[in-house]
Amino acid sequence: MQKIYVRPMSFSYGSNSRKLIKIKKALPICSNKDLSFSRIEITIKGKKNIVKNIDIDKIKNLPHQIKTEVLNKIKNITQKRDKLAGLNLNKFKIFGVLNITPDSFSDGGKYYKLKSAIDHTYKMVKDGADVIDVGGESTRPGAKLISAHIEKKRVLPLISKIKNHKVSIDTRKAEVMICAVKQGAKIINDISALDFDIKSLTSVSKLNKPIILNHSQGTPDIMQNNPSYKNVLFDIYDYFEKKIQMLTNKKFLKKNIIIDPGIGFGKNLDHNLNIISNISLFHGLGCPIMLGPSRKSFIGKIMKKKDSKLRLGGTISAVVTGYNQGVQCFRVHDIKEIFEALKIQEALNSI
């Protein structure tokens, strides 16, 4: 059976978007009338992929079987995303990175002590973070595995102190997920998308908390050893499609799934740029999208600078590119600057 992918393109914003929707020349992204698309790229996967770019008012002229599948994808692209853990996804949401580790790639050791982590939480919330994403295990390229015991020792005291704020637990271990939720975490963020721990799928289903599924190829210690894909976009899309099906088969609500294509997790420079440039494809899965380009090495490779603290400009550029394609959630370190960039872009797009 042929596989069909639909990517919304030719975006319009603000009054122009609303006008085009009104005259049925465009359709909204996730029911947001200030952001619409007037063309779609249809890829029919086979021995040799067939790619067609058509205006949305020409969909009715497609062959019946293709038209049916395209319309199903269009429904996913245009439907409103429900609230998730109390978060209104009609507006952008910022997840502030808080690593309680000695060795994370950008801020390792900086917030390792409880007081400094609590202080930084308050600063991130003040600067515009909607969720504090707490992690106790470094998953930078080359990072080694630590025990669940050590990871819990790092994150649980902090979560118990900041649980009045929305907290997501960044872990790939079921045991840590369970304990973090008991301490007050509202969202689970698994960089392995439930692949690392065989108990994770059952645990997540029972906990019934929203889950962020992050795509990664390989484990952190080896993931950057020559990553390869047949087609990075379609391979990741198919991967998420299976994961969503696995969770819904366990009676987990699809509306509580966020997908993150995993910038830098088993991807080279071209893979990362391709994902960010074409991230609107993933709206076809019918779930909110997260983008986490913050201080990642692809920026350093382009700019020829190794220091991750000098990558703010590149981070903002990637975030805004995602936002302009309808991405709802952004996982970043530099809250104040990203919040300001998104607020300005939001205002510009509303005109």
Task: Kindly report, residue by residue over 41-66, the tens digit of the pLDDT.
Answer: 999 998 889 999 999 999 999 999 99
3-class SS string, 221-248: CCCCCCCCCCCHHHHHHHHHHHHHHHHH
- 1 versus 60: the higher-pLDDT residue is 60
Superfamily name with CATH number, domain 93-350: Dihydropteroate synthase-like (3.20.20.20)
Confidence at residue 93, expressed as pLDDT on a 0 to 100 scale? 98
**What pLDDT does residue 348 have?**
97
Query: Per-domain residue ranges for the chain?
Result: 3-78, 93-350
Burial degree of 242 (CB within 10 A; 0-12, 13-18, 19+): exposed
Average confidence (pLDDT) over 291-315: 90
Among candidate residues 296, 301, 304, 311, the one labeled active-site is: 296
Distance CA 116, CA 101 (A): 12
- At residue 106, does pLDDT exceed 70? no
pLDDT at 253 over 60: yes
pLDDT at 157: 96
Let me know if 296 is a catalytic residue.
Answer: yes
Q: What is the mean pLDDT of residues 10-28?
A: 98
Residue 104 has pLDDT above 60, yes or no: no
Query: Annotated catalytic residue: which of 81, 140, 173, 331?
Result: 331
pLDDT band at residue 140 under the 50/70/90 scheme? confident
Report the alpha-carbon distance of residue 236 to residue 282 in Å, rounded. 9
% the chain with pLDDT above 90: 87
Q: Is the sign of the CA dihedral 3, 223, 303, 170 positive or negative?
A: positive
> Of the candidates 161, 180, 178, which has an alpha carbon nearest to the alpha carbon of residue 169?
180
